A and B are shown apart, each in its own frame.
Chain A
Amino acid sequence: MRSRIVQKVTDQQAGALILRAMMRTRGLAGACLVLFLLIGSATAWAVNPVTDAHGHAVTAIHAPDGEVHGEVLHDGGHAAEATSPELPNIITIALKLKVNGKTLEDVAPATAHFLHAYEYQIFAVFIAFVSALFIFGTLRLRAERPGKMQAFLEVIVEGFYNFVTSILGERGKKYVPFFASLFMFIWLNNMFGIIPLFTGATSKLQTTGTLAMFVFFYVNFYGLVESGPWAFFKHMCGSPEGVLQWIIGVVLIFPVELIGLFAKPLSLALRLFGNIMGEHILSGVFLMLGISLMTFFWPSAPVGIPLHLPFLFLSLLVGTIQALVFTLLGMIYLLMVLPHEHDDHHGHVAEVEGH
């Protein structure tokens, strides 16, 4: 898998190399962090008037769900105003920014409506382009003359390869591209959710639901193709033998398995969505708290106290773990529907029935 020269680099050495590179750029990283914090609180400041008409600090930076929110606002006052404060991004800033007392909606209502309705989709497409750039960047790489970039990418690819094959076995080779791109897309989305002025599409149920549906169709397609329709059905009935087991299988186990089949993508989607949305709201709430505190001491402060700093690190952790869990569970579901692998190393051990 790895090219000849890079083959000598073990995983530990690669880790040390990455660590050394990180240490060399720590000044840059620190500057980036401060910049992040300043931009984060300053943009929240710019988007949001500090106090509303009644003198209360406004808690909602941004209410993403246009329709629901609008309806509630019409009859319920500002009840739903505080439901989901999130960090502002380029699009919400563009929508709220006033130039000569006019917002974008006054100037170009169609564009504003498009931006509002497809805010997260625009970011999803942008992130997909970012990951596509990586693919175009790899076109010039050759195994004959590996460089640093190639060594770095090979470590990542081999990591994915080992990860997938450790779950699915050696036959998992052909599933590596799907699960690796799934992981990369979710992870990039989660990471873009932390960067100020950007947001990740994984905090929307639409995106996570789509990803979970991808996994659902992919897994069941390969389950059907690899084991055949009849074996797939038999597996769904709990691999029965004999008339009594068949009756129990078809009547009792098959409906339960069928429900389980559709519950899996649902739980995948809800888990990722809930985690990432909760994380965004947490950062948003603490950012607003910092701004409120700052205005308490210095009413015309241009930036707030970056109270959301600890939650940025928590977001890094949660984003990575959730991307990993989504991919891992997708692989487990695939493992469940694939026919059981014969263990060739120990002279064809009898196939274990059921799970």
Chain B
Amino acid sequence: MDKITAIALAYPLGLGLAALGSAFGLGRAVGAAMEAMGRQPEAAGKIQTAMIIGAAFIEALTIYALISPFIAQATFLK
């Protein structure tokens, strides 16, 4: 297996795994936020802000998996 094949195999798999984890995390976070908003509609604004911050932190993990091959591209493909 040459380098390109290895990357072509590993990159989507790793990205998929990272996305899976983030999806679980996002599902939990957004679900809990929705529940809280449903219980206390008057606090919806504050909950939404906190939810967006948390979601940003969670999805950053997938983004790291997405861009790490791009950043390490020069080293990988030499």
Contacts and interface: CB of A to CB of B under 8 A. Distances in A.
Contact of B74 (A68, A75, A205): A68
A294 interface: no
Interface string A258-277: 00000000010011011101
A325 B74 contact: no
A270 B64 contact: yes
B1 interface: no
Contacts of B67: 270, 273-274, 277-278
B4 interface: yes
Interface in B37-57: 45, 49, 52-53, 56
A133 B64 CA distance: 36
Given A83-B70, A205-B71, A273-B67, A332 B53 contact: yes
Bin chain B's interface residue count.
Answer: 10 to 19
Contacts of A328: 49, 52-53, 56
Contacts of B32: none
A207 interface: no
A332 B53 CA distance: 9
B52 A270 contact: no
B70 to A, nearest CB: 7
B52 A324 contact: yes
A68 B60 CA distance: 25
Contacts of A267: 60
Given A328-B52, A328-B53, A271 B60 contact: yes
A158 interface: no
A79 interface: yes
Nearest to A76: B77
A71 B66 CA distance: 22
Contacts of B49: 166-167, 328
A332 B78 CA distance: 40
B56 to A, nearest CB: 4
B70 A277 contact: yes
Interface in B1-17: 4
Contacts of B64: 270, 274
Contacts of A75: 78
Interface string A66-90: 0010011001100110011000000
Contacts of A274: 60, 63-64, 66-67
Interface of A: 68, 71-72, 75-76, 79-80, 83-84, 166-167, 205, 267, 270-271, 273-275, 277-278, 321, 324-325, 328-329, 332
Closest 4 CB pairs of A and B: A274-B63, A325-B56, A274-B67, A68-B74
